[in-house]
A = this chain, B = another copy of it.
Amino acid sequence: MSTQASISPQDRADLPDLADIHLAEARIRGRVRVTPILNDAALDEALGCRLYCKCENLQRTGAFKFRGACNAIARLRDDGVEGDVATHSSGNHGAALALAARLDGRRAHVVMPENSSPLKIRAVRNYGGEVHFCAPTNEARAARLAELVEAGMLPVHPYDNADIIAGQGTAALELAQAVPSLERVVTPVGGGGLVSGTAIATRPWGIAVFGVEPEGAADTVESLRRGNIVDSFEARTIADGLRAIVGQRNFRIIREQVKAVLTVSDEDIGAAMALAWETLRLLIEPSSATVLAAVRKHPELFAGRKVGAILSGGNIHPSDWLELVSSSRKP
């Protein structure tokens, strides 16, 4: 599998456990925001359940990714490892790592596909990161990252990394601690960092965790069906944060601890973006909206339940938001 090439020497072979998530929480405290949890009667009515939205779109850098990046950088610091870091990212992890690195006196080098969102490219640069463009394929991305690592940079994989997974799990930890008796938690699935951290973090509460993929990037669903991670696939979805292939560690955790991975169409996603704005006055990016779309689409799983939804990010320009929301409306 192509992402295998970019697993860093710092990555531990073992998977993170609940203790790692609590350690991550302590390590990143004061750097990450304890994001708000919003619920809304009109949203509940539209979705037929009691929904608690963990607003990681209001996290620093506009996405949950800052949690994992902060934890990974803090681990390097704790281990006495100096030097700049490198990663590949469609955007949110890159921006998060750039800021986390800068706060620790390092620089982040971020390999990004040429077709990345201009907003996300600008964000990486604004936070002090250096962007290295590549062709929009897994192979080109891995090759460019390998060059940077050969040049001496420390790789920090965006999701197939125990410290990243533990950091991402802190969002669900905060959610489960704040909202009693949650029955289900739903998160998007790209590479699987968020959903795997969520599954580990919420285990003590007996919460059933569901992942969501866009129909056009349902590699995890297909991998679960086959029992092995798919070698490659072509992503076709408006959810630009969810186009990656699921990681090895992530896949193992998902297989063992995630209840199911659901799929939603781009049209469902656009409608859910509109719903989030109508009810919560939040502009969320398509990746985030997958969770609302899935709850709406699967009443057999969520109706009448107390459900947590992780709104993963808000990095979408209002003009792009408008375009996606209008084009999702059925004529």
Contacts and interface: CB of A to CB of B under 8 A. Distances in A.
Nearest to A280: B58
Interface in A60-77: 60, 62
Nearest to A281: B314
B322 A318 contact: yes
Interface string A19-63: 000000000000001011010101000000000000101101010
Contacts of A38: 33, 58
Contact of A322 (B33, B277, B280, B322): B322
Interface string A279-306: 0111100000000000000000000000
A281 B58 CA distance: 7
Among A60, A280, A281, A318, chain B packs the most CB atoms within 10 A around the CB of A281
Given A318-B318, A321-B318, A60 B40 contact: yes
Contact of A315 (B33, B42, B281): B281
Contacts of A318: 277, 283, 318, 321-322
Contacts of A322: 318-319, 322
Nearest to A35: B36
- Number of this chain's copies in the assembly equals 2
Nearest to A119: B278
B283 A281 contact: yes
A281 B319 CA distance: 14
A121 to B, nearest CB: 15
Among A35, A38, A315, A318, chain B packs the most CB atoms within 10 A around the CB of A318
A324 to B, nearest CB: 11
A259 B120 CA distance: 41
Nearest to A39: B33
B36 A281 contact: no
Contacts of A277: 318
Contacts of A40: 60
Nearest to A38: B58
Contact of A283 (B33, B283, B319): B283
A57 B321 contact: no
A297 to B, nearest CB: 23
Interface in A310-331: 314-315, 318-319, 321-322
Given A283-B318, A318-B321, 16 more contacts: A33-B38, A35-B36, A36-B36, A36-B55, A38-B58, A58-B280, A58-B281, A58-B282, A62-B281, A277-B318, A281-B283, A281-B314, A318-B318, A318-B322, A319-B322, A322-B322
Q: 7 tightest A-B contacts by CB? A: A36-B36, A281-B314, A318-B318, A62-B281, A318-B322, A283-B283, A319-B322
24 contacts: A33-B38, A35-B36, A36-B36, A36-B55, A36-B58, A38-B58, A40-B60, A42-B126, A57-B281, A58-B280, A58-B281, A58-B282, A62-B281, A277-B318, A281-B283, A281-B314, A281-B315, A283-B283, A283-B318, A318-B318, A318-B321, A318-B322, A319-B322, A322-B322
